[in-house]
C-alpha cells in the first residue's frame, strides 16, 4: 500500500563558517599528502571575527606553511573584505599543532604491512544509496546541494553581483513509498538564505533567486502552483561569515553525507587522513551501498560498518534494504564480504585515499559527485550468485 510523506534536507555554502573550517582542515591535509602520502593528520579549525585557529596532531615529512594555506582558502571562498564578514589579508592565523600520539601510532600503523594497518579509532560508519536519482542519492539532498552550487556560480560569474559567500538552502519533497521503495512526487518547499550586499532590496533578492537559482535548479516536473518559496525569510542578511557566527570543523556532517537519510555514526570527515575510519570507512560504506543498488540487488540500502582501534577487519557489517532487496539481508552481507576488502589499508589502496583530493570534498558533499577522483562513487561490478541474477532489479530514477 502506498503512503505519502514529506522529508527535508539542507545544504550550506563554502562561505558558511563551519564549511570554511572544513575546507581549511582539508587543504592542510592535502598539502601534507601532496609531499608525503603517508602523512597522519587530524586537523581541526575554528574561526570567529578576524581570527582562524588551527589545532590538532600532524605527523608528516612534508614542510607546509599553515598561514599561507589558510589565507589561500579564505581568499578562494571570496572573503576579501571585512565588509563581507572576513578578509584573508588582515585576519589573524594561530596554529597549535603537535605530532600524533606514539601510543596511537604503534597500535595502528607502525611496523605493520599496508594491508594490515589497524583502524585509527573505534567507531561506526554508514553508507546509503537509493535509486530515486541518477546520483543514487536522496533527491532532497541533491537539490539542496545544487541550489548552493548555483548560488556560488551566480556570485563568481557576477550573474547576481550582490551575492556574498555565506548561504544556506533547504528543500522539502513529498514522497510516495511503496514497500520501502521511494518515488519523489513534488517539491513542497524551498528555503534560500543568502548573505548579500547592503544596497540591494529584499524584492530584488527574491526576484534574482527565483529566476537565476530556483528556476535553473528545480526540475519543472517537480514544481507546481502549491510549491512554497522562502527567500531570506529573516529579512536582511548583510552580516555573514565568521562575523555572524563562529565556525568549527566537523559541524556539518549531515550536509556532508545524505541530508538526514539513512543514519550517521557521528564522526566527521574533514582534516582527517584515511587511516581514520571515520572517513575511509564511511567512503567504503557508500561504495558498497551504491554498488548494491547499481547491481539491482535492492532499490535502496543502508550499510553499517564498525571498527575497533588497532584492529584491521571490521567488527560487524549490517545491510538494511528497507524491504526492497531481492534476497535476505544475510545473503547481501555474504555478497559484501566476497566482493569488498574492508580493512582500512585496502580501502585506502583501492580508493586511492593517499592522494591530495580532499579539499574539494568539503563543499558540495562527499557523495553523489561526478568526479573521477571520487572512486567510491564508481560502483564495483559484483560477483553475484547465479540463482539471484534472474531477479535483479532494473533501477532507474
- Residue 241: all three cell numbers together: 561569515
Out of 16, 109, 181, 188, the active site residue is 16
Give catalytic status of residue 272 as yes or no. Answer: yes
Answer yes or no: 394 catalytic: no
Catalytic residue among 272, 279, 286, 300: 272
Q: Residues 19, 109, 150, 299: which is the catalytic one?
A: 19
* 252 among known catalytic residues: yes
Cα(174)–Cα(189) distance, integer angstroms: 9
Alpha helices in 13-136 (DSSP H): 17-35, 66-77, 102-108
Among 16, 12, 31, residue whose Cα is nearest residue 70: 31
Scored b (16 or more CB within 10 A) or e, 296-309 reads: bbbbbbbbbbbbee
Of 26, 44, 131, 132, the catalytic one is 44
Catalytic residue among 150, 251, 264, 366: 251
Per the annotation, the verdict on 276 as an active-site residue is yes
Catalytic residue among 276, 279, 286, 290: 276
Q: Kindly tell me the number of DSSP H helices and DSSP E strands found in the chain.
A: 11, 13
User: Could you say which of 196, 278, 285, 367 is catalytic?
Assistant: 278
**Choice among 141, 150, 252, 343 that is catalytic:** 252
Q: Which of 237, 269, 358, 374 is catalytic?
A: 237
Q: Is 246 a catalytic residue?
A: yes
Q: Which of 40, 150, 164, 168 is catalytic?
A: 168
Whether 18 sits among the annotated catalytic residues: the reply is: yes
CB contact at 8 A, 286 and 324: no
For 295, counting Cβ atoms within 10 Å of its Cβ (0-12 exposed, 13-18 middle, 19+ buried), the class is: buried
What cell does 138 get?
536522496
Q: Is 229 a catalytic residue?
A: no
> 57 catalytic, yes or no?
yes
Any residues with CB less than 8 A from the CB of 88 and at least 6 apart, and which? 71, 72, 74, 75, 79, 80
Task: For residue 251, indicate whether it is catalytic.
Answer: yes
Query: DSSP per residue over 311-355, as a string?
Result: --S-SEEEEE-TT--SS-HHHHHHHHHHH---SHHHHHHHHTTTS
Provide CB contacts within 8 A for 182, sequence distance 6+: 130, 132, 175, 176, 299, 300
80, 177, 210, 245: the active-site residue: 245
Structure-block grid coordinates of residue 343: 580493512
Select which of 105, 197, 206, 246 is catalytic. Answer: 246
Distances (CA, A) of 54 to 14, 226, 259, 274, 315: 18, 46, 27, 19, 33
Give the active site residue among 36, 48, 57, 174. 57
Taking the CB of residue 70, how many other CB atoms lie within 10 A of it? 25
Which member of 18, 22, 256, 273 is catalytic?
18
Whether 19 is a known active-site residue: answer yes
Give the residue numbers annotated as catalytic, written as ranges.
Answer: 16, 18-19, 44, 57, 168, 237, 245-246, 251-252, 272, 276, 278
Amino acid at each position: 500500500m502506498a503512503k505519502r510523506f514529506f522529508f527535508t534536507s539542507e545544504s550550506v555554502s563554502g562561505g558558511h563558517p563551519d564549511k570554511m573550517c572544513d575546507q581549511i582542515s582539508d587543504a592542510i591535509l592535502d598539502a601534507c599528502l601532496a609531499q608525503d602520502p603517508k602523512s597522519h593528520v587530524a586537523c581541526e579549525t575554528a574561526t570567529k571575527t578576524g581570527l582562524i585557529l588551527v589545532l590538532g596532531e600532524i605527523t608528516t615529512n612534508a614542510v607546509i606553511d599553515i598561514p599561507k594555506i589558510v589565507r589561500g582558502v579564505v581568499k578562494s571562498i571570496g572573503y576579501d573584505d571585512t565588509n563581507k564578514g572576513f578578509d584573508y589579508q588582515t585576519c589573524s592565523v594561530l596554529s597549535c599543532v603537535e605530532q600524533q600520539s606514539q601510543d596511537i601510532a604503534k597500535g595502528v600503523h607502525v611496523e605493520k604491512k599496508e594491508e594490515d594497518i589497524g583502524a585509527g579509532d573505534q567507531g561506526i560508519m554508514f553508507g546509503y544509496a537509493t535509486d530515486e536519482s541518477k546520483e543514487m542519492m536522496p533527491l532532497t539532498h541533491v537539490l539542496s546541494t545544487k541550489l548552493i552550487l548555483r548560488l556560488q556560480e551566480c556570485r563568481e560569474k557576477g550573474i547576481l553581483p550582490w551575492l556574498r559567500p555565506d548561504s544556506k538552502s533547504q528543500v522539502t519533497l513529498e514522497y510516495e513509498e511503496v514497500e520501502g521503495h521511494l518515488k519523489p512526487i513534488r517539491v513542497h518547499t524551498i528555503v534560500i538564505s543568502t548573505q548579500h550586499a547592503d544596497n540591494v532590496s529584499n524584492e530584488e533578492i527574491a526576484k534574482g533567486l527565483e529566476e537565476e537559482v530556483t528556476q535553473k535548479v528545480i526540475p519543472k516536473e517537480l514544481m507546481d502552483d502549491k510549491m512554497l518559496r522562502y527567500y531570506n525569510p529573516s529579512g536582511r542578511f548583510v552580516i555573514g561569515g565568521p562575523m555572524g557566527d563562529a565556525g568549527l570543523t566537523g559541524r556539518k556532517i549531515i550536509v556532508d553525507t545524505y541530508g538526514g537519510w539513512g543514519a550517521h555514526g557521528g564522526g566527521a570527515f574533514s582534516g582527517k587522513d584515511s587511516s581514520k575510519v571515520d572517513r575511509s570507512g564511511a567512503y567504503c560504506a557508500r561504495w558498497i551501498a551504491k554498488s548494491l543498488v547499481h547491481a539491482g540487488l535492492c532499490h535502496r540500502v543502508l550499510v553499517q560498518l564498525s571498527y575497533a582501534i588497532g584492529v584491521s577487519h571490521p567488527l560487524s557489517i549490517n545491510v538494511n534494504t528497507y524491504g526492497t532487496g531481492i534476497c535476505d539481508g544475510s545473503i547481501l552481507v555474504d555478497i559484501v564480504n566476497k566482493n569488498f576488502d574492508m580493512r582500512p589499508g585496502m580501502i585506502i589502496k583501492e580508493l586511492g585515499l593517499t592522494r591530495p583530493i580532499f579539499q574539494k570534498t568539503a563543499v558540495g558533499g562527499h557523495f553523489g559527485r561526478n568526479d573521477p577522483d571520487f572512486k567510491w562513487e564508481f560502483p564495483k561490478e559484483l560477483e553475484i550468485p547465479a540463482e539471484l541474477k534472474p531477479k535483479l532489479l532494473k533501477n532507474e530514477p
